[in-house]
A and B are shown apart, each in its own frame.
Chain A
Amino acid sequence: MRRIALVLLAGFLAIAPASSAVEGFPDRADSLKFAVLGDNGTGEKPQYDVGRQMAVAHMTFPFDTVIMLGDNMYGRQESQDFINKFERPYATLLQAGVLFYATLGNHDNQNNRFYKGFNMGGERYFTFVKKNVRFFVLDSNQLDPMQQAWLDAALQRSAEDWRICYFHHPIYSDGGRHGSDVSLRVALEPLLVKYRVNVVFSGHDHVYERLKPQKGITYFVSGSGGELRKGDVRPSAMTAAYFDQDQSFMLVEVAGDDLFFEAVARTGTMVDSGVIHRGRADSGETR
């Protein structure tokens, strides 16, 4: 019995954060708390490690939403894969009633939008509201005229305090393998700027990066929720912070006019944190 207790304790210590990753959040009762996960669906150990770390964070930072930035599933995508690459790694969170909202990446089968666990309602692009935040979820594999027209109308209609957009391919990134998708940026950015989107999350580059605000919008790349391209960031003048040495995910709290964020490594170490003030182009300072 004692041996079992010791093993459990050792296991807990192994996954517990080295420094408490969630201390800096205001933890307001009326705030929205969510996690951010990208390029995660490998079904391999690092994905499970990140899943466990998210569960640990959930104990002290009870988020009810996870936004998935695409490549939610790599390789084969049959029914057993939905278990091995999604339901098992995040079993604790799913059992706690956390809802995952996915976008499609280049490795995702387009039919995965019908999978209940991804809450996409069968759509390639959609919008949903949580408290004072409206999320716009896009399919960046190709930005067809229908999707652009839809986004224009949806952004125009939105009356919430915060507008957060997420899609798989980053329009700003210092990832060495992919980097910024400039053609997508030229097509998309005018709408994001016009309707004053506050924050954009993307994946695709298997690293974590926070960009300095571009035309008033803060961009994050969080594409190492399972995959990792170690040492891939090529820092530039637009880099605010980055972490490319291990898998990571993000925790976010939107409290009034402030958005607090933390990037957490697979080991539980906090690798970046900060706050973004709504309506301030120079926001995004490190805490």
Chain B
Amino acid sequence: MKQHVVAARGVALHRHHRSAAARLLDRVERRYLALPIGTAIAVIWANTAPEPYFVVAQSLAFFVNDVAMTLFVGLITQEIVEATMPGGALHSWRRWSLPLLAAAGGIAGSTSFYLAFVQGRHEAVLLAGWPIACAIDIAAAYYVLKAILPRSGALPFVLLLAIATDLFGMLVIAPRYPTLGMPGRGVGLILAALGIAGAMRALKVRTFWPYLVICGSLSWLALYREGLHPAFALVPIVPFLPHEPRPLDLLADAPDDDAVHHFEHEWNSVVQSVLLLFGLVNGGVLIRGYDTGTWALLLAGLVGRPIGILVTVRAAVAAGWRLPRRLAWRQLVVAALAASSGFTFALFFATGILSTGPMLAQLKIGALATAAGSLLAIGAARLFRIGRFSR
């Protein structure tokens, strides 16, 4: 009898622990914490046992950055395609125009601050890193604004701005991929990938696996051979997948009502694992490796971008544009600061255009340090007594 009680308690305890672990994993996934966790592990590892860390990181780098990250870029593409199609939240040009202008201002602000700082320090070799200064961490901006300004118009505004900015960054970094590419040998492959994807679409193939395995692989090879960043392999393929328009809540779960969204559900977990690995492989930097590039990225993200955004919006409003509903100037300042973190995308852009060396190391530190922008946004909201701090 006593044994039964002990066994029952054991099962209950096991269930309790299991559900706690499941809840923790769910929380990590929902809040996009996999990358920060991977990065934290990497930073500790690199600064305590650098040589073993870099041996592991460099041996995994190609698989993670150039192969596995294809799924991350594919997922982001999938979300953007659905949000921008007819009926999607981003379809209307009116919703896009002001955030798009703000994105242009943010890019101009961050880039000019970055370039001016690097030029001022006479380290011309760092000029090539300017696209990294443009990156905005969509997840960080999303969660910070959702936490501190949940009911303002800041959230959709910043998401649109971040998407436009990162799209621009991706277009810039794709051809800068440092590789031993074999120019001219990928065109046939990409045409084949697009042709097969088009045929599957015409045949109403609704499961994503053939698109991913056949077309994705062909596209990956094509980009790699052409010397383009192969992590973008799914970008031309994703639009062929059957889609449903979706609301602008990019990082929330989409309704599980068809094969396409099923694909998104499955991918999300895989992508979180990829991001964990991405943080682990790329986040490990020696703290003392900071240098001019680190300060340049910090200045560009935390000062240049918010100033660029605010000045551009101010000019647009003066020219007749209207601020979105529930977005006053104080909220806009907080929103601009929430967009100052580059983190995930800055790391991705950095590894996309730079190879191993001190240049990459110092810019990676800068990319990680821009996460401080989230704290600045919280501080500003507190100072202005808005959103969660209004009481």
Which A residues are within 8 Å of any B CB, using their own CB? 74-77, 104, 106-110, 140-147, 149, 169, 177-179, 181-187
Contacts and interface: CB of A to CB of B under 8 A. Distances in A.
A244 to B, nearest CB: 17
B55 interface: yes
A145 B357 contact: no
B122 A145 contact: no
A145 B358 contact: no
Given A106-B358, A146-B180, A182-B51, 17 more contacts: A77-B122, A108-B125, A109-B124, A140-B357, A141-B357, A142-B354, A142-B356, A142-B360, A143-B356, A145-B178, A145-B179, A181-B289, A181-B358, A184-B357, A184-B358, A187-B58, A187-B356
Contacts of B361: 181, 183
B355 A143 contact: yes
Contacts of B126: 106
B54 interface: yes
Secondary structure call for the A interface = loop
A110 B123 CA distance: 10
B253 interface: no
Interface string B339-362: 000000000000000111111110
A169 B357 contact: yes
B354 A183 contact: no
B122 A107 contact: yes
Of B123, B292, B356, most buried by chain A (CB within 10 Å of CB) is: B356
Contacts of A109: 124-125
B2 interface: no
The winner among B54, B55, B58, B292 for most chain A CB atoms within 10 A is B54
B44 interface: no
A110 B358 contact: no
Interface in B263-298: 286, 288-289, 291-292
A188 B122 CA distance: 27
Contacts, number: 83
Nearest to B353: A142
B61 to A, nearest CB: 10
A183 B122 contact: no
Interface in B309-354: 354
A155 to B, nearest CB: 17
A183 B125 contact: no
Given A146-B178, A186-B55, A141 B359 contact: yes
A95 B359 CA distance: 36
18 contacts: A77-B124, A106-B126, A108-B124, A140-B357, A140-B358, A141-B125, A142-B178, A142-B355, A144-B355, A145-B180, A145-B355, A146-B179, A182-B50, A182-B54, A183-B50, A183-B286, A184-B356, A187-B356
A201 to B, nearest CB: 17
Contacts of A108: 124-125
Nearest to B360: A142
A178 B358 CA distance: 10
Contact of B54 (A141, A145, A186): A186
A243 B318 CA distance: 62
Of B50, B58, B124, B125, the most chain A CB neighbours within 10 A belong to B125
